[in-house]
Amino acid sequence: MSEKHSIVIEEYLLLLYQLRGAGERLKAVTLAQRLKSSAPTVHATLQRMQRDELIQMDDKKEINLTREGERLACDIAFRHNLAEYFLCNTLGIPWYEVHKHAHQLEHAMTPTVVDKLAAFLNYPETCPHGTPMPGHSLPEDCFTLDQAEEGMMVEIMMIAEELEDSEELLKILHTQQVIPGQKHQVISRADVMSSMTLQQEEQQAILPFHVADKIHVVQVED
């Protein structure tokens, strides 16, 4: 494969890995929507990936990673998360900006660089958005914020990858301290408005349910 095709296929593998982690069905139409690409382009890339034995398509046209595809998907996911952690925690690039920079850096990292950088960073278990590194997972008692009840105190564990594509949204979450490690109390739910209100000391954050359902939390004591 050419270098350009290699980068494209790595992006597909990363997205497939992320979609599967979010519990979504792996279908060509989902890839086209997330990549903002045409159906013919997506199908052509998937055919190349089938040819290279990275994926298989089942009878329902759902995509499954082969053993080699799984290995490469885990590798690119690790590089992406590691790049985000480095950019945020070492270089000081804001939490809400690192996603776009990591997409550039992840493709340029050689195995030696990845190994040395992981050791330098003391093998982080998550990216700055809380996404677990391959081989790690969220706590078993984790659930999405939209399921939290009024009065419940929660700690933010992870901002889903899908939200990372919107830097503007991440800036809002950052301003409201809706970031991994921060604790908030759910003070109200407005089903008619499809939104919920969080409180942290004197600050409030109002989140629509379609955003809250992509934020993973655990319940904590008041």
Looking at residues 24-41, what average pLDDT do you find?
A: 89
Indicate where the chain has its CATH 1.10.60.10 domain(s). 78-120
CATH (one of 2.30.30.90, 3.30.70.380, 1.10.260.40, 3.40.1080.10) for 143-219: 2.30.30.90
Mean model confidence pLDDT for the chain: 92
- 3 pLDDT band, cuts 50/70/90, is very low
β strands within the chain, DSSP E: 55-57, 63-65, 143-144, 153-159, 183-190, 195-200, 203-208, 215-219
pLDDT in tens, 18-28: 888 888 889 99
pLDDT at 35: 87
Residue 5 has pLDDT above 60, yes or no: no
C-alpha to C-alpha distances, 69 to 24, 47, 50, 66, 79, nearest whole angstrom: 18, 14, 10, 5, 15
pLDDT at 184: 97
pLDDT at 102: 93
pLDDT at 1: 37
Q: What is the CATH number of domain 3-65?
A: 1.10.10.10
- 152 pLDDT band, cuts 50/70/90, is very high
pLDDT at 116: 97
The model's pTM is: 0.88
Looking at residues 32-44, what average pLDDT do you find?
A: 90
Q: What is the CATH number of domain 78-120?
A: 1.10.60.10
DSSP state of 114: H
Looking at residues 167-173, what average pLDDT do you find?
A: 94
Look at 22-31, 119-128, 180-189 and tell me which has the smallest mean pLDDT: 22-31
C-alpha to C-alpha distances, 178 to 2, 21, 51, 128, nearest whole angstrom: 41, 21, 43, 12
Residue 130 has pLDDT above 90, yes or no: yes
Alpha-carbon torsion 141, 143, 148, 151, what sign?
positive
